[in-house]
Structure 1
């Protein structure tokens, strides 16, 4: 069920992005069409309105980060990326003194610092630690995506899948939703193979589904970071055949998710997890992953204009992307 406050959260998150200098005022309408507030409303069941807006603002920031990074790749200006990536990693890692003054004033960094401090302040320690791990891994995955786009280079499908799990930027957002919902899976349970398989199957379903929606842009601009593009290249498929192959893989991963869900009670027994609170937290995580898989699909189909925009489909930069946001070091 979609939280009815999604429209309001979307408007507030858009205004926040404009106010922080992430996008220009004249691009407000197109940026709002991404519908990050609606995605937050579909996956943040039970969150307070303040938590919903914070999640929408994080999503807005992550879309800007992703698009600006893509711009740097396409324009050959990646020298400007590393100082910003390092600054973000230093801050989330609890080392704000290591953030260079030159990077600290960049809107991508300053807005991250604001969001990160607000996010961490509302998280219990176990989720705070996960979030601190997940953000730097997300940043490294963007470096991996940049490497995948070197001229003449094609990652293997297996390499791409591992990178995509993090470049989706889903893990930090899932941490935020669990914090808002009061879901605290103990660390020893979170790290178990049973829960890892559950997480990766859900994230693969969401990420590969997004690859289908984003295929027009990524194919038109030569981006190899798309499962359909890679399957077409590796197996000599047409794009239509590759999309059908992705859809078959998604169906198989849904079955993997369902099987992992059914096996969880036995896996928890084997781990010696008898605490009812821990087992309830795991059950709530399963429901949360279901919300993410269904909510992300519905958002892309009904709430988001990003993948229907003519500029996007033509492989062009979004109108809200700012060429001056990242300067070359």
Structure 2
């Protein structure tokens, strides 16, 4: 028997409500079709659709217009392919092919064009260009600036993950947590939801320590929960980028004991989120010159964070086949992964 033979994901007791967009299933189908059209997947399309990115988009989007739910679902579909393709290159030792792709993505993000002929024509790059142009067209100045800053951080975090796997070492828990906030790929998606809700909070609100504490708490709750859901796959393939595996190695305990420790961390982080929320509103309300519209927008933004925390949990438990798929649990690549999607020229 292995350490995970009796593994099950605990209930994280998230004290938030959630509702899903009534057309989430339609968004899932449309995002799947988009991924096929852009040649991100060509086989096992039904398995790819089983990830349920449209359902996740529908759970975290609140009352945004349907076309923005679909756009978010398409970005999520692209993001899962990005993650799986990066994993494939790590497994095959072909990471040299990764840099031209990320450089082309970054160039388009910064300039609105990409002149890197080696990467143009790659489905990941073309898919990003299509998405990025439509995403930016629906964003205010502040939203767009944050999105532009978050995508490169996301890409850099994947390089950090590759480095961790290459050395086989274990980063400190704090270093891992900081990296995981970006490798979760959530921040650009949060930017999209903020824009879809018509919210563009002033940068000075984002810069408040209480706001940053709130954001960090929400990201940690989501990311650490995902580490528990994805533990069987990552343990099976020797991926050390997982909080449970890291704590087990650091504490010298079993994986199941480490799951309990991570569960306790998640519960404590939820409480810290609620404290940060109260402190944030106290700071804003104490500012007599604060614009009432900013206060209302902040209230909606906080509700969006709660949608993300509970929505991601419900999606993983009930609407996503990714973490229950036998290939995934065995540490194998997904059947829809295209070995030729990114290759060394």
Map Cα deviations across residues 189-231 of structure 1 (whole Å, 9 max, x no partner).
1111110000000000000000000000000111010000000
1:92 alignment partner in structure 2: 109
Are the counterparts in 2 of residues 273 and 279 from structure 1 also a CA contact under 8 Å? no
2:27 alignment partner in structure 1: 9
In structure 1, what is the Cα distance between the partners aligned to 2:179 and 2:287? Answer: 29
2:248 alignment partner in structure 1: 232
2:326 alignment partner in structure 1: 310
State the shift of 1:48 in Å: 1.1
State the shift of 1:277 in Å: 1.1
Are the counterparts in 1 of residues 44 and 335 from structure 2 also a CA contact under 8 Å? yes
Are the counterparts in 1 of residues 168 and 240 from structure 2 also a CA contact under 8 Å? no
1:267 and 2:283 correspond: yes
1:67 and 2:66 correspond: no
Q: How does 1:19-38 map to 2 (within 5 A)?
A: 19-24=37-42, 26-38=43-55
Q: Which runs of 4+ in 1 moved over 3 A?
A: 269-273
State the shift of 1:264 in Å: 1.3
In structure 1, what is the Cα distance between the partners aligned to 2:110 and 2:288? Answer: 32
In structure 2, what is the Cα distance between the partners aligned to 1:285 and 1:152? Answer: 39
Alpha-carbon spacing, 1:132–1:272, altered in 2? closer, same or farther (3 Å): farther
State the shift of 1:271 in Å: 6.1
Q: Secondary structure at the match of 2:163?
A: helix
Query: Gaps spanning 5+ residues in structure 2: where?
Result: 1-18
Are the counterparts in 1 of residues 205 and 211 from structure 2 also a CA contact under 8 Å? yes
Map Cα deviations across residues 113-166 of structure 1 (whole Å, 9 max, x no partner).
000000000111110111011101110010111111123321111111000000
How does the TM-score come out when normalised to structure 2?
0.93
In structure 2, what is the Cα distance between the partners aligned to 1:191 and 1:177? Answer: 19
In structure 1, what is the Cα distance between the partners aligned to 2:31 and 2:60? Answer: 16
Q: 2:74 aligns with which of 57, 60, 67?
A: 57
Q: How many residues align?
A: 327
In structure 1, what is the Cα distance between the partners aligned to 2:289 and 2:231? Answer: 43
Q: How does 1:96-115 map to 2 (within 5 A)?
A: 96-97=113-114, 99-115=115-131
State the shift of 1:266 in Å: 2.2
Map Cα deviations across residues 290-317 of structure 1 (whole Å, 9 max, x no partner).
0000000000000000000000000000
In structure 1, what is the Cα distance between the partners aligned to 2:99 and 2:64? Answer: 34
Q: Secondary structure at the match of 2:166?
A: coil
1:250 and 2:266 correspond: yes
* Greater alpha carbon shift after TM alignment, 276-285 vs 73-82: 276-285
1:214 alignment partner in structure 2: 230
Q: 1:81 aligns with which of 98, 115, 134?
A: 98
Q: Secondary structure at the match of 2:230?
A: helix
State the shift of 1:265 in Å: 2.2
How does the TM-score come out when normalised to structure 1?
0.97
State the shift of 1:279 in Å: 1.3
Are the counterparts in 1 of residues 227 and 242 from structure 2 also a CA contact under 8 Å? yes
Map Cα deviations across residues 69-91 of structure 1 (whole Å, 9 max, x no partner).
01111111100000101111111
Q: Secondary structure at the match of 1:149?
A: helix
In structure 2, what is the Cα distance between the partners aligned to 1:286 and 1:243? Answer: 28
In structure 1, what is the Cα distance between the partners aligned to 2:288 and 2:244? Answer: 41
Q: Secondary structure at the match of 2:91?
A: helix
Q: Secondary structure at the match of 1:138?
A: helix
Query: Gaps spanning 5+ residues in structure 1: where?
Result: none
Q: 2:134 aligns with which of 115, 118, 142?
A: 118
State the shift of 1:272 in Å: 6.3
